Amino acid sequence: MSGSIHIPTLAPEVIFKVGEFSITNTMVNVWLAMLIFLVLGFFITKNNRLRPGRLQNACEYFLEIVLGYFDQVTGERKRTIKFLPIVGSIFFFILLSNWLGLLPGTGSITLGHNMLLRPANTDLNLTVAMALCSVLLSHLYAFFSIGFFTQIGKFVQLKNLVLSFKKGPIAIFSAVIELAVGLIEIISEASKVLSLSLRLFGNIFAGEVLISVISALVAAFVPLPFMLLELLVGLIQASVFAMLTLVYLTVATSAPHGSEEHH
């Protein structure tokens, strides 16, 4: 063996504390990703021209690719532009965070007894927070797009239950079924948060463990194919998270089936 095997723990390691606030190694990677985006955004906006340079040209090229994929989900460019700031930010942040986890020194440079750098998405707190933002924002967009009561009506059908008492047993039974379906929809919204967060966390954490073990056993060349695989996994997981968020936004801002005919 080339050295002892350091298996990452489920919880991120605390590097130091600022008062009662703990600074973890995953937070360092998050701040590094944010710094890269800030610097990149500064240079793009500063050098924004009608005849783009190399950096602007490359960013516009990738943006056009992303817009094309988003159009396939939303069905129209207007909706794509509307959701782009949210979904695009999520996609590129997850992608960069995943790829930063493959930088030399990640998982090997230590501060005291803890790793200094660790892939940001191996922190379940981060993936749950992003999943919550995705689901909550889909409802917030829906409130402004189709109306507050229309969106709430997808989950709570109390009005139909009250009115059904005047229409007979069949109407009451149908109203109860609608109310139960609404409760199931609420549970499904919670399951979205779980599935989004655990899928991203599980895949990135498993990749970190695999590379840590392989690197400790054989330090040179052998880990390289696994790192290339993790580049692909990072891209796929960023795409899946972003596309599911886009689907949630698109579905939430669409009027319920039959509402056009009703109006």
| Minimum mean pLDDT range among 100-109, 226-235, 238-247 | 100-109
Higher pLDDT, 249 or 208: 249
Calculate the average pLDDT of the chain: 81
pLDDT at 182 over 80: no
* Tokens at 158, concatenated: 């109390």
So where are the chain's domains? 14-262
* Cα(118)–Cα(55) distance, integer angstroms: 28
Question: What is the per-residue pLDDT for 3?
Answer: 47
Predicted confidence band of residue 248 (pLDDT cuts 50, 70, 90): very high
CA of 180: how far to CAs of 132, 154, 161, 172, 193, in Å?
24, 11, 11, 12, 21
CA angle 193, 123, 116 (to 5 degrees): 165
Mean pLDDT of 216-224: 63
Mean pLDDT of 204-209: 83
Mean pLDDT of 125-154: 89
What are residue 14's DSSP bridge partners?
Answer: 24
